[in-house]
Structure formats: structure tokens, C-alpha cells
């Protein structure tokens, strides 16, 4: 399977181009239009109406009722010491190797033909296996019904050839939607531009197909280290060692059965 073509790996014949999000945080103004558009389109309940008190953030992170989360980070600018705000609209990464999908026993989580990862609310049984499996802490259970919820990358809109609600609502084009290859090329150009302008700390996050999740379908341009934004610096698919563990368990079971058979045969002599 190509690291960039998870739909083909999931069994789709001749799938369309993989799509995703490129979120350029350098132009985010923190208006939260993306959060509101996501809730409005997807019928996500309102939660976290109070500000946290530490910033203009009001949910503190992604959750079952927050499929887009705009982080407000107040910090002293490295070098000058001036105060600055970093704003970033976070979302499910639609990983190339998605552990949430690997562990789902019901098939509620599935890979779409467009390479995205979607959870079907009418199939989810609320077992919660996917929650600790996600290396980013994205997918979450809703308190009142126990089922798992997260960004669907507006699969229903994509099937009607419309773009996701958040990227359509974003007034600064901080959230860009499109074929992943195009987004990667655009992001590389933007990074080069920022470096030429002297923004040396600008970096891409989640764009690398050789990273621990095989590259993200939703990747970012950040202005500081990922940890500053609450993102893991080196995420790894949590099911990476499962095949080895199953092989070891199978070998142990075979040894056990073999010993039992040998003991039984020996006892009959
Ligand atoms: S970020 Fe988490 S919930 Fe989203 S696809 Fe990856 S593992 Fe699944
Ligand atoms: S809509 Fe765009 S500019 Fe506004 S908070 Fe979301 S990403 Fe930032």
C-alpha cells in the first residue's frame, strides 16, 4: 500500500484523489467561524460557552462536542520577548495509519474512498476502544450517550461535491481543503515564503508520510514547536506493535496446545 493512498489500502478500486486539510496557523485570526460552522452543519451540541480564564479559549481541546478547536496561546515571542498570540484551529488528523480504525470492533469507524476516517453514529456501540488508541487524543465519547464522535471531514458534503463547512467559513483561508498532494505543494511554498520573511520558527506538522502515523490527512503550518499548541511532537500509531503481539500470542498458544497433546499422549502409554 502506498503511504499516501490509504483508500487503495482499504480495498477501494481506483479511488479518487485523497483529500484533506492544510491549516496555515500563520493567518488564523481566532474568529472561531470554523468552530461555529462545524457545529451548525453537523448538529454538534453547544458546550464550553464560558472562557477558560487563561485565554480566549473556551473548550481547551477537541472533544465529542468540539470537532474543531481554536487554541489561543499567549506567549513571549522568542528573541524579542514581546507578547504574542498564537492561534490554531485543531481537528482530527485523518491519519494514514489510523489506530482508532484499527481497534474498532464494529466497523463504526471506516476509511472512505477519499482517504478520510469517519465514525458512523448508528453503528458505534460505545465500547470506547478507539479513545485511548488515538495518539492525538481526538476521538471522544459523548457523556449522555456514550458513543464516539469526531470530525468526519464533512463526508456528507464531500459526497455532494461541496467543501467542508469549516474551510468554507474561514475568512482568512487559514483552513484550506483540497487534494492532499496539492495542499502539500502549497504548504511547502508557504513555508519557504515565511522563512524568506525571517519567520525562522515556522514549520510543517503532520505533512511527512514517513512520520509515526504515515502522515496526516489534516496537517498544519505552525509558528512554534508542536508542544506549544498541545500537539504531540512525535506521534506514533498506537497499534504499531499489534501484529508482533498477535504473532507472539499465537506462538505461545501453539506451544501450550503442543505441550498438552504431548502430555496426554505420554499419559496414555
Ligand atoms: S487523529 Fe485520532 S481519531 Fe483522527 S484518524 Fe487519527 S487516530 Fe483516528
Ligand atoms: S475561521 Fe479561520 S481565521 Fe477564524 S478561527 Fe477558524 S481558522 Fe482561524
Question: Would you say residue 59 has pLDDT above 60?
Answer: yes
> Which band of pLDDT confidence, cut at 50, 70 and 90, is reported for residue 4?
low
Residue nearest to atom 1 of ligand 2 (CA): 170
Pocket of ligand 1 (CB under 6 A): 92-95, 98-100, 117, 134, 136, 138-139, 150
For ligand 2, the distance from its centroid to the CA atom of residue 127, given in whole angstroms, is 33
For ligand 1, the distance from its centroid to the CA atom of residue 218, given in whole angstroms, is 10
pLDDT, position 1: 39
Ligand nearest to the CA of 137: 1
Region label for 213, one of left (φ > 0), alpha (ψ between -120 and 50) or beta (otherwise): alpha
The stretch 86-93 carries a mean pLDDT of 97
For ligand 1, the distance from its centroid to the CA atom of residue 223, given in whole angstroms, is 23
In the chain, which ranges are continuous DSSP H helix? 6-9, 33-42, 99-103, 130-133, 155-159, 165-169, 180-196, 242-268
For ligand 2, the distance from its centroid to the CA atom of residue 69, given in whole angstroms, is 10
User: Is 46 strand, coil or helix?
Assistant: coil
User: What nine digits make up the cell of 59?
Assistant: 473548550
**Model confidence, pTM:** 0.88
Q: What is the pLDDT of residues 25-39, one digit of tens each?
A: 999 999 999 999 999
What is the best residue among 117, 147, 237, 240 to mutate for testing ligand 1's pocket, by most ligand atoms within 8 Å of CB? 117
User: Is 60 strand, coil or helix?
Assistant: coil
d(CA 138, CA 91): 8
Q: How far is CA 244 from the centre of its chain?
A: 25
pLDDT, position 2: 41
pLDDT, position 245: 64
Pocket of ligand 2 (CB under 6 A): 28-34, 70, 87, 89, 169-172, 174-175
From residue 110, alpha-carbon distances to 95, 107, 118, 193 in Å are 12, 6, 6, 37
Ligand nearest to the CA of 91: 1
Question: Would you say residue 3 has pLDDT above 60?
Answer: no
Q: What is the mean pLDDT of the chain?
A: 92
Which of these, 144, 220, 148, lies nearest to 184 by C-alpha position?
220
Which residues neighbour 149 within 8 Å (Cβ) at sequence distance 6 or greater?
A: 44, 64, 65, 67, 119, 121, 139, 140, 141, 142
The stretch 117-146 carries a mean pLDDT of 96
For ligand 1, the distance from its centroid to the CA atom of residue 145, given in whole angstroms, is 20
pLDDT, position 269: 63
- From 1-5, 27-31, 174-178, the region with the lowest mean pLDDT: 1-5
DSSP β-bridge partners for residue 76: 83
Phi, psi at residue 209, to the nearest 5°?
A: -65, -15
d(CA 157, CA 154): 5
Each as own residue / partner, the long-range contacts of residues 108-111 (CB below 8 Å, 24 or more positions apart, any chain) are: 108/148, 109/148, 110/10, 111/6, 111/7, 111/9, 111/10
- From 59-63, 102-106, 220-224, 258-262, the region with the lowest mean pLDDT: 258-262
Q: What is the pLDDT of residues 179-229, one digit of tens each?
A: 999 999 999 999 999 999 999 999 999 999 999 999 999 999 999 999 999
Give the ligand 1 atom nearest the CA of 238.
7
Greater confidence (63 vs 80) lies with 63
Give the ligand 1 atom nearest the CA of 133.
7
Ligand nearest to the CA of 112: 1
Amino acid at each position: 500500500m502506498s503511504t499516501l493512498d490509504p483508500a487503495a489500502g482499504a480495498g477501494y478500486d481506483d479511488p479518487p484523489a485523497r483529500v484533506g486539510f492544510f491549516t496555515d496557523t500563520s493567518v488564523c485570526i481566532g474568529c472561531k467561524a470554523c468552530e461555529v460552522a462545524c457545529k451548525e452543519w453537523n448538529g454538534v451540541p453547544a458546550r464550553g460557552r464560558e472562557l477558560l480564564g487563561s485565554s480566549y479559549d473556551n473548550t481547551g481541546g477537541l472533544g465529542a462536542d468540539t470537532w474543531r478547536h481554536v487554541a489561543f496561546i499567549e506567549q513571549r515571542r522568542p528573541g524579542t520577548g514581546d507578547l504574542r498570540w498564537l492561534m490554531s484551529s485543531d481537528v482530527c488528523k485523518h491519519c494514514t495509519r489510523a489506530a482508532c480504525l484499527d481497534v474498532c470492533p464494529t466497523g463504526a469507524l471506516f476509511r472512505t474512498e477519499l482517504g478520510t476516517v469517519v465514525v458512523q453514529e448508528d453503528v458505534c456501540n460505545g465500547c470506547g476502544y478507539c479513545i485511548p488508541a488515538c495518539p492525538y487524543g481526538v476521538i471522544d465519547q459523548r457523556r449522555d450517550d456514550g458513543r464516539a464522535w469526531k470530525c468526519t471531514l464533512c463526508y456528507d458534503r464531500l459526497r455532494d461535491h461541496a467543501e467542508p463547512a469549516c474551510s468554507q467559513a474561514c475568512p482568512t483561508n487559514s483552513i484550506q481543503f483540497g487534494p492532499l498532494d496539492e495542499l502539500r505543494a502549497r504548504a511547502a511554498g508557504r513555508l519557504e515564503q515565511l522563512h524568506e520573511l525571517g519567520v525562522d520558527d515556522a514549520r510543517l506538522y503532520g505533512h511527512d508520510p514517513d512520520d509515526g502515523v504515515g502522515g496526516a490527512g489534516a496537517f498544519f503550518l505552525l509558528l512554534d514547536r508542536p508542544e506549544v499548541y498541545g500537539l504531540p511532537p512525535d506521534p506514533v500509531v498506537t497499534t504499531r506493535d499489534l501484529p508482533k503481539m498477535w504473532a507472539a500470542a499465537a506462538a505461545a498458544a501453539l506451544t501450550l496446545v503442543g505441550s498438552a497433546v504431548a502430555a496426554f499422549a505420554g499419559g496414555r502409554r
